[in-house]
Every structure is written in structure tokens, then in C-alpha cells.
Chain A
């Protein structure tokens, strides 16, 4: 049964069948082969209860928030302010890229959106300051991946919804690892520039006056961050409600900047609906598949299979990590998550791991997947914005940061409290 499921899934994906329909069809095949009672009749009820779920309303809400922010000009001004403050470090603007990505990640739930937004603003600067181009590209691709680790995070919503894990807890659990990871990324740049000082380019000249002058440009993202994450931490709002607060805050800010036009809202609505359509289609397929695999007992079978290997919890974890690292090279992250989370999470919980902690491990593995070729969305995104040279430059430039991600993974495995301390302080 397990082997059939894996083979059918590989075949469907290799044929480039749209993931939503592919997951649905995998469900239909497994249902026909193994289910004592046909479960297809549940397709209507499951789809209704899934698409009306208030938890999943968070998905279009965070997409909407991101769309408004993307078109409000907040990111540009924020980037320019960050440059004033951190570009004196060896590596200059490359640190600004990472810090700006981390700040934008704190108001956006998507890694691709983070890389696109910061990349569009930053890429013009490479030649101006003679940076090592590859490393510069790497900072944007890698910095962008912080989008799903630093809350809010669309991937965490999907993880929470699929595994019944508290999304507010996941958000808080991602916060400190996100800051630590951003710090490690900066350390990576720092070390590279110590090793090869020429990588660091020419420094950016700033004055204290310029720094103070740009300070107000950091207020809008801070304001949205407090509205979204502050309200969750204070226990005032759920993840979905917090997104609603974030939307109001971003509309107010965009209105103050006089960015709200009919045309702009049109673009925002279209972008939101398009992304919502593709995510929800996959969610429908995934939930249908979930009903089938639960009915036929597939997760239990795989769990038992793993148990017969008699691995210690640590080696079970290593097995899962290895699985995601390899899969992450070939699969887009959201599809990978919905297809595998319902299987791997029970295994990890049975091995004694905390589901919130495991959620953070999964998100960091997804970040790795975004950077590893041949299929790494953030690599494609950065190359796409750059519009010249070869993809190879982005891949090589991101490689040091993939190593950094593994270091981060090791830190969280060795010290789970990095992730679990903050959610533990919440009532």
C-alpha cells in the first residue's frame, strides 16, 4: 500500500499534473484499491467544511496583506532606511538585504513575496558598489526564505490546519529562530568578507543626520508587526483575526501614503484571488486525500514501517530530515508540505517530539528547499528579477546560506528551547 501510494504520487507529479488534481487523483486511486467503503461521497462535505474553515481564512488574509504591502511602497522606504543603519558592516548592503528581508518577513507570510519585494529594490545596487555578485544574490535568495519562518507565515497556517497544531504557538515559536537565523546569515556574509575582503564592495557613505531622517520609514512595518504579532502574543486575537488587523493597518498606511487608487485595489484583489485560488485548490485536493489515507490507514502503516526499523527518536528525525532535503530539491514547498505533513507528523509525535517544535523544523527544511537546485523557487525568483547572467550564479551564491540553514537546524535540534521558550511564555 505504501509503495503503491509513493509510486502513484511520483508518477502523477512527474507528469506535471496540476498538484491539486494530482493529490485528488492519488486519493481516488488509493480509494479504489484499498478502501473497504468508497469515500468519494465525502468530497462535497469535506470541501465545504474546509473552504469555510475560519483557520484557513487566514490564507487569503495574509495574501491580501502581502499584496497591499507590495503595492504600498513601504518596502522601498524601509530598505533605504535599513541601508543607513547597517551598511557600515563589512559586506555593506548585503547585510541590509538580510535585515530588510527579516523586517519584511515580519509583516509578510511568504518567502517568494519577501524575495521579490526586497530583490526588486536591492538588485540595482550590485554594480554600483562592486560587490561580489554571487554572494549578493545569495543574500536576497536566502534572506527571502525568512518570510515563512518569521511570523506571520502562510506555510505555518497550512501546517497548523493540517495537523491541528496551534497557529499562534507556531508563530511565536518561529520568532526567535527567525532572528537567530537572520543573525547567522549576516555572520555568513561577515565571514565571507573577512576571508575575501574584495567581496564586500565599496562602503556606503552615511551620516548620522541621514540615519535619523530615515528612521520614520521604519515605523510603518513596525506598526503592522505590532498589530499582527502583538495581538496574537497578547492573546487578543487568533492568527486569522490578527491578519484582519494587519489588513486594516496596511490599508490605513497605504491611504496615508496616498497609494490607494481604484487601479491599485484592482491589482490587489486580482493578485489575492489568483493566489488564493491556487492555494485553495491544493488544499481541497489535500484534504480529500487526507480523508482517504486516514480511512485506509496509510499513516499508521508507514508509522509501523518506521517502527520496525527500530530507530532511536534522533535517527527517526534524521530520516525525516534527509527525506525533506532530497524532496526539497525537486518539489515546490507548499505542495511538498500538504502531500507529506499528514504522514510525517504522526511519526514524529510518536517518536516523542513536540508538534510545534516539529513545525519549525519543517519550515526550516522548506527554506532549504527554496534554495536547493534544480527546483528552488527563491533561486528562480532572484534570477528572474536579475534578468541577466546565469542561474548558476544564484545557486552558487546561495550555497553558503544552505550550509547556514543546516547549522540552524542543528541548533534547534540541540536546543529545542530556541523555538519553544517564547510560546511557553504565552498564556
Chain B
């Protein structure tokens, strides 16, 4: 059971990374199109049109998928003023409560998101702009993101509960605990250091 769950979590991490790539690329692309649109608009008075609307869809679709990555990185913001002073058992317990609260609230959001999607399909709604996008397309991807988010969260919760039941509090923390600032920075610096090795030397001569 644990092994299966661990494998599913690894798989979810791959999905999250791939969707981060797609989401990041989509946002970058929409930024570039919007930028070109402004340049054209203010120089030769031509507008591509619709770029702003599409970037809105890019954000909406990227949001739930981005939440998956944030969850797997344990980056979701938690107020840990009290938390850090508790015993590791209580901390692990609150980790589980927090995840359960996340799942229940976003299950509600997803439930009504499905309603929004269903309505767009039933009444064949198109956006009011010149593009007249059938809203069901971005909304389906958006809703799917919430569903996957909930599935991944449920897998994490189940795995963490099993670890908690066995008294493996370290494992609970590694799965769903609140990341301390030190952990956060360490990860950031590692990624920067890794980049430096590949990039050419930044600067000849130092500050002094």
C-alpha cells in the first residue's frame, strides 16, 4: 500500500513538473504576445486583439495545476507562529488537519467549478470578445486541474495518515509539513548554484 502510494506521489511530481513547464511557457508566451501588441498599438496602431483575454485563460488554467506543484513542494503559506513551538506529534497532527481542510474547501470549489463548466456546455457559451472562444474549453482544463489537485492531495493525505499511524513523524513532515524558511532558502540556493555551474562566469573582477 505504502509503496503504491509513494509511486503515485512520484508520478504526481512528474505531472506537476510537466504542467509547470506548460503553464510557465503559456504565461511567457502570452506575455510576449501582449508585449508585441502594445508595441504595435503604440507605433503602427495595429492591434492583435484578444491577447489579454487569452492570458486570463492561461492564468485560470495554470492556477489549479500550479497549486499541485506548490503542494508537493510544501510551499502553501501557513502561519507557523504557534506551530513551531509544538511537539513533533502535534505538528504532524496539524499537518494532517491542514491538508484535510485544504481538501474539503477546494472540493467545494471544484464541485461548483463543475457547475460553471456544465452551464457553459449546456448553453454553448462563447466569450463576448471578438475571439468568441467557447468557454467550455478553458473551463474544462481549469476544472480538470482542480480534480487532479484533489486527487494528489488525497493521495498525500492517505500516505501521511499511514505514516502518522506508524509513528513515522519525520515522514509526515517530509510529505506535508510546513516548510521552514531555512528549507525554502536551501532549495532556492541549490537551484541557483546549479545554474551557475552551467552559465559562463558572471563578472571579471570583484566588488573591491
Residues of A within 8 A of B (CB): 13-22, 24-25, 28, 40-45, 47-48, 51-54, 56-57, 60-61, 64, 70-71, 73, 76-77, 79-80, 83, 93, 116, 120, 125, 128, 204-205, 231, 236-237, 240-241, 243-245, 247-248, 251, 258-259, 261, 263-278, 280-282, 284-285, 288, 330-332, 334-335, 374-375, 377, 380-381, 383-385
Contact = CB atoms under 8 A, between A and B. Distances in A.
Given A24-B108, A44-B111, A332-B79, 14 more contacts: A15-B94, A16-B94, A18-B98, A24-B106, A28-B105, A43-B112, A57-B58, A80-B206, A231-B38, A251-B28, A266-B21, A269-B21, A384-B184, A384-B185
A274 to B, nearest CB: 5
Contacts of A284: 63, 109
Contacts of B24: 64, 265, 268-270, 272-273
Given A120-B192, A385-B185, A54 B98 contact: no
Contact of B27 (A18, A64, A71, A285): A64
Interface in B67-114: 67-71, 73, 75-83, 94, 97-99, 101-102, 104-106, 108-109, 111-114
Contacts of A259: 199
Contacts of B67: 277-278, 280-281
B142 A48 contact: yes
Interface in B36-83: 36, 38, 42, 52-53, 55-60, 62-63, 65-71, 73, 75-83
Nearest to B68: A277
A335 B60 contact: no
Contacts of A265: 24
Contact of B192 (A71, A261, A288, A374): A71
A137 B195 CA distance: 26
A16 B80 contact: yes
A43 B109 contact: yes
A331 B115 contact: no
Given A64-B27, A80-B207, A259-B199, A20 B76 contact: yes
7 contacts: A51-B56, A237-B38, A240-B34, A261-B199, A263-B195, A330-B79, A381-B185
A128 B192 CA distance: 24
A276 B75 CA distance: 11
B195 A335 contact: no
Contact of A244 (B31, B66, B205): B31
